Amino acid sequence: MYDVLVLGGGPAGLAAALTLGRARKRVLLCDGGVRRNAAATHLHNFVTRDGTPPLEFRRIAREQLAPYDVTVRDVAVETLEGAPDAFQARMGDGTEAKARRILLATGMIDEMPPIPGFRELWGHAIFQCPYCHGWEVRDQAFGFLPRAPEMLEHGLFLQNWSPDLVAFTQGAFEVPAATRARLESAGVRIEERRIERLVPNADGSALEAVELEGAARIARQVLFAVPVQRQTAIVSSLGLEYDAMGFLKLDDQRRTSRPGIWGAGDATVPMQSATTGAAGGMMAAHFLNHELALVGK
């Protein structure tokens, strides 16, 4: 019987496992599935690890778990049943494990919009977070893809990284007159035609242009977009409560709505980064460990 089963070996799960291992808990961390930054070659804006390849980040984190009673397995948890002190997990390879408590750090799944070329350029020329990748592409020709009127003002924020900005609304919504005037006076162009496809360079590694309906092309090197996200299958299977944005609803001690199950990382918040993920993992682990101490062995 493990004290804690951590689902997910990203920044949130790894930080949680480190905290729990150092608190002398017997931990099983299972990692299998899609990690959010799989398409990115480097992780940025994590203090002491700025510019580290994501897999190197994970390798170091796992290496630093070695002194503790933490078992790391590269396997997905497929089913999870039970209650506090008697959770039972079945893995993708058919093995099983029992644990007293569960910590969900499974991240979110980004749904790629149905724009030809988007998936291929995601993480290379299309980014979600300018704090993560804006510096590397500063002053290039930016586009961004607002999905709703309130996302238009993102253009003003992106001007921290480039003055050359086009908002591609694809005619998905009416642009409010006041917002249009504000953006245009700040130098942000608004393009409302539908995007036909994204045109990559010869070797497919970079963006050259955004092709619109009618074959017009607007030269762009970088796009920023916030894809719709969904929870992983295992989280969706647990009957948990979500907030209005679809993130796991947590109480002030990072507990989900189901007794014995805690949450951390991207699955729980719209402000998503390796740093916030690791911070959430540490906090959830702290509160979980605190509860185990109160209830005793």
Ligand X SMILES: Cc1cc2nc3c(=O)[nH]c(=O)nc-3n(C[C@H](O)[C@H](O)[C@H](O)COP(=O)(O)OP(=O)(O)OC[C@H]3O[C@@H](n4cnc5c(N)ncnc54)[C@H](O)[C@@H]3O)c2cc1C
**Residues near ligand X, by CB under 6 A:** 7-13, 30-37, 39-40, 43-46, 76-77, 105-107, 110, 123, 128-129, 132, 232, 234, 265-266, 272-275, 277
Contact 169, 144 (CB under 8 A): no
The per-residue DSSP string of 216-234 comes to -EEE-SEEEE---EE--HH
Angle of helix 11-22 versus helix 54-63 axis, rounded to 10: 10
Shortest distance in whole angstroms from residue 110 CB to ligand X: 6
DSSP 12: H
* Nearer to ligand X (CB atom), residue 33 or residue 143: 33
42: number of Cβ within 10 Å: 16
Q: What are phi and psi of 213, to 5 degrees?
A: -60, 140
Nearer of residues 62 and 193 to ligand X, judged by Cβ:
62
> Minimal distance in Å, beta carbon 176 to ligand X?
29
288 near 22, Cβ under 8 Å? no
**By the 8 A CB rule, do 11 and 107 touch?**
no
Min dist CB 249 to ligand X, Å, is 16
Nearer to ligand X, 107 or 117 (CB): 107
Q: Which is nearer to ligand X, 30 or 188 (CB)?
A: 30
Choose between 34 and 83: whose C-beta lies nearer to ligand X: 34
Give me the least distance between CB of 128 and ligand X, in Å please. Answer: 5
Q: How far is the CB of 90 from ligand X (least distance, A)?
A: 11
